[in-house]
Structure 1
Amino acid sequence: MGENGRVSGHDTPAPRNPGTDSSTEGASDPRSAQERIAELTAQIEQAIEDYYVHDAPTMADAQYDELERELKELEAKNPQLAKADSPTQTVHGDVAAGFAPVEHLERMLSLDNAFSLEEVDAWAVRAGEGLGSGADVQYLCELKIDGLAIDLIYEDGVLTRGVTRGDGRVGEDVTANVRTIDNVPDRLETDDPPAVLEVRGEVFYPTAAFEELNEQRREAGLPEFANPRNTAAGSLRQKDPSVTASRDLAVYVHGIGVHEGVALASQSEVYEQLKAWGLPTSPHWRVLDALADVHEFIEYHGEHRHDVEHEIDGIVLKIDSFAQQRRLGSTSRAPRWAIAFKYPPEEVTTKLLDIQVNVGRTGRVTPFGVMEPVKVAGSTVQMATLHNQFEVERKGVLIGDTVVLRKAGDVIPEILGPVEALRDGSERAFEMPKECPACGTPIGPMKEGDKDWRCPNTKSCPSQVTGRIEHAASRGAFDIESLGEESAIALTDPDKRRAEALAALRGGHVIYLPIRSAEDAELENFVVLKNGQEVQGADGVPLLRITREDDPLLPALQTPVVTTGANLFDLTAEDLREVFVWQPERRDGEVTGDWRVQPTFWSRPTFRHYKRENAWKQQKPSTVLKNTELLADELEKARSQPLWRVLVALSIRHVGPTAARSLATAYGSMDAIREADLAQLTETDGVGGIIAESVHEWFDVDWHRELVEAWAASGVRMADDVEEGFVKTLEGLTVVVTGGLEDFTRDGAKEAIISRGGKASGSVSKKTDFVVVGENAGSKEDKARDLGLTILDEAGFKDLLENGPADDGSSDEEGFDGADTEDSSDASAADQKK
């Protein structure tokens, strides 16, 4: 929410219009007003918690602002109902569990918002009246960074604390994470630093670095992060500072709290002083004398908001003089001498080519709009969710409409409604399909009154199988690096985007097909593409161009090579030779609206034009792609993964890595888990009733058992190896591993502990028995020493795994690090057992 309390996100009902909604029309009735105030307060507080505590926004900026405006109006009309802890009177934020609370030296306030130049002018008039006639006012204007507010404390020039804003009085201690941010100096660049300096700023993810991060995640088959702000917040609030260090966060400081031993007269002087001390300040600020210049500054950056190094969502205006700031004072939550101008969400119009439906992993059927590609909020959009058929009806959109599109919160594409004046009579209404578009199974609500429709074909619906295969390949399951979303689609639902391509075709675009033989060059559809454009001559890529749906060259529907997932481990390169997918055509990195049929696992044959014969001839046949060879290697490795990973890969509801490890440790084999009755499963340590019931029900389904049997026949490991004489050497012990080990990955060390009956914990406490320390161990090692716990190096860890703890509990054993746990008053649980 930055400094003004805004929220980005989606999936919440549209806000009520305070000018027309019946709830506000009845505002004179205290009872109806009280009910609406309670409803608005609950919605806003939930949005604040989602945004600040969970870093998972669920409401768009504009919607949040509308709700807050309505609440303010109701409280103004009914002052007897306004409470001191109302969201309109408090600074938003809280301290999440797991972070130490820290009280700010000086309170951090929020900012009031303006949504038009008229509201900016009204604020300036109020400020002028507060300062008295004839006051000479200068306005400092700066870009409002869409990031996470931070409070930095320097004592005698040394950084001692980094704290999030929290509720303005108490924030979260994130000092260790702040120290990993490259442009935050550990020491001020001065020989005469102030005794205490409290600096306010904003942590953000630079847009270029964010795009690079998402590109890396796409290549690794990982889900992309939604937006820079949430990624910055989540990165800063990591429990492990090494995760924060791996992210390219940056900070710009923009304010000052307590500052002992230094005199400053204005905000602009603060900026110059902060910069002189070596602190990172934004270059995007100006001090202006006239409101006309302020308007110009706002309008300029509204048109160039994507030209700077970070995301912005508005402009912050401040009275520059500190003397004038003090005279104007503050309300309970915001200064009267500053305001945040909020840019409206960017809106554009485009053609709605079609409304289609998507089937998710759980079978939920969701309508979405297929649109003429259009650039909005800095990126090209051609699809937007419509949630369900009732939402389509509520918005009143027809296929063929020109629609108003907004990127809610500058992130999520949202169709607002049609431009009815542009209708020509060719538009048609959307009808929810009666059959699943992926498998043809009849679909509908699972029970009366459900808005969501679902496909019940859990076994072989291609869209649901896609989700399961992608999940099976994920890092927490088989960890198949080369099997991400796109490869999963190609294997299970290769025609997934065919309908979108055909919709574009009907809208006047074309589909390009690879030529398969030299004879294709004789067809009238034959074209040559160079740099995304059709050219005359032979210098380019030969393709076939489809311009109509009834063209006989249009490829027939494909039969997926994976239908339930049972044959995943039996695939050969030859099985994948003819698989192709439908991809948007791009030019200079932007989608054009055209489409291309693209082989996925084999290369296209290449053709060259020979001038002497004036003919195209095949130069190279299609060959297996490197990524396909890698997939085969990764599938081979996956066969040997431990039992708990196989359990996760089966997509059993509620069974994640933790429950899977507990089941694998307790039973040792898939057969033993399958044969266990409900009571036995429930009594298993780390499982419980809900998971036990889910596992029991899963194995009652015929095709689930067939899937397990098929994988077993393909060589997938269904039982953990137990060496002869194997003893659970760590039974009842808790072990923490911190830092890098030479012979163990993080997961490998965890598996080694759990397989021997121990608990692999991620945090150090008095209940920890052993702490294994590798390279760059960090604060966990310090805490272990403070608590007097037994610390092991890697050699000691290996000995512990093999032999268990020493009988005498001595600390001079090879691999132990001198903590005298016998004599310590904070003896570990292991010592107490000994």
Structure 2
Amino acid sequence: MTETLKSVSDLTEAEAVEELTRLADAIAAHDIRYYQEDQPSVSDADYDALKQRNAAIEAAFPHLIRENSPSLRVGAARAEQFSPVEHGVPMLSLDNAFSNEEAAEFDARIRRFLRLEGETVAYTAEPKIDGLSASIRYEKGVLVQGATRGDGRVGEDVTENLRTVSDIPKRLSGKGWPDVIEIRGEVYLGHAEFAALNAAATEAGQKTYANPRNAAAGSLRQIDPKITAQRPLKFFAYAWGLFSQPFAETQWEALQLLKAWGFSTTPQSQRVEGAAGLLAAYADMEAERPKLGFDIDGVVYKVDRLDWQQRLGFITRTPRWAIARKFPAQRARTILEAIDLQVGRTGAVTPVARLRPVTVGGVVVENATLHNADEIARKDIRVGDTVILQRAGDVIPQIVGVVPEERPAEAVPFAFPHVCPCDLKTPLARETTVSGAETVVRRCTGELACPFQRIEHLRHFVSRRAYDIEGLGEKQLTAFFERGWIREPADIFRLARDEEKLTELRQTEGYGETSVKNLVAGIEARRAIPLDRFIFGLGVRHVGETTSMALARHYETVERFVAAGLAAEAQRPKASYQDLATLDGVGPTALEAVLAWAGQPNQALLIPDGASLEERLRLTIPKLNATARRAIAERFGDWASFEAAARAAVDGRAGEDFLELSAVDAVGPVAARMVAEFFGEDHNRARVDALLAELSVIPAERPKTDTAIAGKTVVFTGSLEKMTRDEAKAQAEALGAKVSGSVSKKTDLVVAGPGAGSKLKTATDLGIQVLTEDEWLELVKS
């Protein structure tokens, strides 16, 4: 290398960013020539010099390390070397619990679902290893493939690297293993091994890792398995995915079999019974944690019986039968140096604390959320304060309080601004609920005219859980936005075919032919997108991953989803209905009683002279309870006002399409209203149309079609005696049915137990087939 390079110690942060970009492009190009084309264009010494300079800059500016850094072996060569692996069974995440009460509620929830009140449930309690999840496939007892977790559905093929981990048998021992089985577990580094690895890196002048988990991840993702082999990685097995035949009846039995087959399992795991056992296991592991030679960040509770696990099933991306009890957040003190404002994609303005850097739980923290203006005022947080910081769940930094006795004399209360920090200076407004009540959230009223909201929408669109476009990170997206090349999601796909812009990009410093080629490939790879990711990528408020998945499963195709959104917008409830429906104290039963009365002609009733509104309500609408009568009286004051509001509410009721949308399990009226409002905006419909013109949307996985209830919409009402409502819903969905929360003309079956009320009456009036619980169980057996 002949050019004169500036010393790393003399680089400014801006120069470091540019240099890291240049190095990433150069290293990626050499990797392609070496690993893919077998035509290296530089000597090993020159290639190593590029890698060493990249490592030195990252060591000096650790906050600039990106996910696609060459030091983490991410890029074109990595993508080619580590081909995608679709897991036979998705690798799901776990819900979290942070207290004894939440752990006890987990046990209670399991017993309610399985209708086991009065019985004791057995669990396994296993330490939650802080490492990198992996899945290893064995056929006829021989290791044939290994993959990272990836996004849960598709991981990376790291078979050769996993073969170098001594804890992972290349051939299973013992007997009783299925012909095909995916063994799941955690790749990790012990404390001693991590310290030795960093010491060696320091001695060699190379980049050190922040914690054992990052070191394990970086080691497993090395392109050259020989490098991975030099890292003392370990593996604990604790679960399985796809298997060709059953091999155990309980989780505990399965753990013993994993040991017999040649795997290491966590010796701290226990089999316990009931909530008391869960709490005792947690206390044991919390006390044991400092003595362990590896990192754990909690305890995983799993229902022991595998047949019960199967009955409990899953909630989109998490199992009902397991939960992670996390250890308390670690705390530290530091100085609050500034409060900045960030504008999110929905316009919500969030204050962010800029902190004097401090290490919390092994991680350097410089920023923390302050949530909202009311939270700042409640805690009286001021610039200059000494604050107590914690990482919630050992992940998200937050300020839990201040140290008043260390407050500087010049510190003043923080004045939250009234305008957006963007150049438009658009006014901020408090968010209101559907009933008109103000919330603590302040939002920029500029919508997509606000550049902050527009760029945040785009960042959400390309995020990992949405489109996950390789090569289009925050830095590139921001640069393209500032150039005016990308203003809406469809522009991303237009850019990939705009040769004029791509030619200009190739001539831009920091880019090259390889970078542009990788960017275009990453975009083109997302022209076919699953429906749930398409929905999530729209960035509709209150529509997260779980809701997106529920909508995708219900509507199945993008055409049906868009049509449902448009229809719901035309039929969403009006303010007259919302005013009554959101009245505190008026529940669904009381609301239905008022609407039923208001929908009928005036009835002559003998009302005593001077009767109060509450008394008149009792005589006129007998189904109203005292709480509802009192709430209505406080809200409307007199009979004339109430009667006018009730009759207006009848006219303002939602239509069937909106009700169907809101009745989709895991959606509800709030998310339904957000979807309807989204499609009610001209600019949103235009964005969706433009996007659909650029890509194809893969329909949701088709539910079962060979069962007696496949494709039918089912409503459960009343009390079920042989199974819980949740279990019945899970059973119906597993058999290809759609479960709704309300009865309409589109309902096919109503399963009614004792105590069934208005839903049963509606079904009878509409002529919908009604089944008893026994009849339902007989039907689903066929």
Normalising by structure 2, report the TM-score: 0.38
Q: Name the structure, 1 or 2, with higher relative contact order (CA <8 Å, separation 6+).
A: 2
Normalising by structure 1, report the TM-score: 0.36
Structure with more helix by fraction: 2
Tell which structure's C-alpha radius of gyration is larger: 1
